[in-house]
Amino acid sequence: MKLLFDLNSLRPPRSGVGYYTQHLLEGLIQDREVAGLAGWVGTECFEGERLRALMEQRVPLRKGVQFTDGIAAKVLQKARSMPGLYRGRTIVRAIKSRDVRADFARRGYIYHETNFVASRYSGPTVVTIHDLSHRRHPEFHPRVAVEYLDRELPKTLRQAQVVIADSHYTKNDIVEIYGVPESKVVTIHLGVEPAFQPYAAESCAEALGRLGVARGGFVLSVCTLQPRKNLQRLVEAFARLPADMRQAFPLVLIGADGWKNSELLRVIEPLAQAGQVFTPGYVPRADLLKLYASAALFAYPSLFEGFGLPVAEAMASGVAVLTSNLTSLPEVSAGAAWEVDPYSIDDIAAGMRRLLGDPALRDELAVKGLRRAAELTWDATVAQTCAVYRRLSA
């Protein structure tokens, strides 16, 4: 079988879709059944050694435009609200890659779009839909992004012969919202990188020292600071814990600054001044792995997830997890996490208090989490995805 990918998601800085694409390519490039593997960015085509070099980041790609503060950020935010922005970008990319796609279609390649909206393609098409949060919670997204997906996603779902969903929850959403036949949608769970694992205390000391926290002495949450992640309720729940517990287990919020978070920052401020909440922003990956493995508790009461990979990464790191009882998260944790109602500050607070006050329970959840995470591997994701390609190649 011969496979084609849109590689725009590999542009830095990588998003979750970019890492998904990378892990698929890493597995497929080793598969003997794959007779051809290629992709495009703009008018550039990547095959063979050039594709390997791109995956290993030996070939530079132009960064996606991203600013977090200052005048540039304000200009970018204004531009994102301009009517036609997403559509215009899609049209430009489609024109640039039209001849490349036509050539691969003639050569019998299966096109797998890993990032929601597929380009037009005359050959077999597979698309991965990671979630439908733009339909369930449009308030979490820029209006132009919602309008773009509402317009383009139905076309993609008609074009694709097979639709891959990250979870049964997302599959059910696709069937319910868009009326796609259930037989056309395949659930394939994501995997956890082997780098997420328990680490010995001595190997974590340097990373913990840079942040100023102790091993087993903090609550960790990792995500972009945005409304969907429910951080304001998490912080408000943390503020309801006894003062000595907050002092013993400060809350560490790791992630890039997002949007619609001015109220969150207001709630954080007094706790940060008291040394009970830390917001270090971006943390190098090497440090992040050690922080995962050193937390007393990983708290992720997100309001909506198509999969919720941070929960799986935390479980693989050997840490107890508190998460939501909604959307895909119970499917991912599979009974190995403490589940709470993410809309109830009291329930989140009660869960944290129970877990932080009961080391034996945390140890029990950590063991269960390691077993569950061992079932979620990228090798399994690639193997199940290859079965989809095989079906289309038959």
DSSP state letters, 132-161: -HHHH-GGGS-HHHHHHHHHHHHHHHHH-S
pLDDT score of 140 more than 90: no
Q: Are 306 and 131 in contact (CB under 8 A)?
A: yes
User: 156 near 116, Cβ under 8 Å?
Assistant: yes
Contact 335, 368 (CB under 8 A): yes
371 confidence band (pLDDT: 50, 70, 90): very high
Cα separation, 321 vs 318, whole angstroms: 9
Spatial contact of 153 and 178, defined as CB atoms under 8 Å apart: yes
As a residue count, the chain comes to: 394
319-338 b/e (C-beta count within 10 Å ≥ 16 → b)? bbbbbbebbbbbbbbbebbb
| Cβ-based neighbours of 316, under 8 Å, separated by 6 or more | 192, 196, 197, 369, 370, 373, 374, 376
Which residue(s) pair with 36 in the sheet? 2
Per-residue pLDDT of 147-195, as tens digits, reads: 999 999 999 999 999 999 999 999 999 999 999 999 999 999 999 999 9
Residue 68's pLDDT is what?
A: 42
Tokens coding 139: 């308030």
Q: Is the pLDDT at 80 greater than 80, yes or no?
A: no
Spell out the CATH class of 201-373. alpha beta
**Average pLDDT estimate for 231-255:** 96
**What's the pLDDT score for residue 293?**
98
pLDDT at 216 over 80: yes
Alpha carbons 135 and 161: distance in angstroms, whole number: 22
Q: Examine domains 2-191+378-393 and 201-373 and report if their fold is the same.
A: yes
Q: Which regions of the chain does DSSP assign to beta strands (E)?
A: 2-6, 36-41, 44-47, 110-113, 125-129, 162-165, 185-187, 219-222, 251-254, 277-281, 297-300, 321-324, 338-340
Task: For the chain, give the mean pLDDT.
Answer: 90
The average pLDDT across 57-83 equals 55
- Lookup: tokens for 258: 């997002």
Lowest-pLDDT range of 63-67, 80-84, 220-224: 63-67
Judged against a pLDDT cut of 50, whether residue 40 lies above it is answered with yes
The CATH topology of domain 2-191+378-393 is Rossmann fold (3.40.50)
For the chain, the straight-line distance linking the first and the last C-alpha, in angstroms and rounded, comes to 9
d(CA 107, CA 316): 41
Q: What gap in Å lies between CA 114 and CA 97, rounded to an integer?
A: 16
pLDDT of the residue at 14: 73
Which residues lie below 8 Å from residue 330, measured CB to CB, with a gap of 6+? 324, 339
39-49: average pLDDT = 92
Model pTM score = 0.88
Q: What is the pLDDT of residue 270?
A: 92
Domain ranges of the chain: 2-191+378-393, 201-373
Element (H, E) at 198: none
Per-residue pLDDT at 259 exceeds 80: no
The answer to whether the bond into 330 is cis (omega within 30° of 0) is no
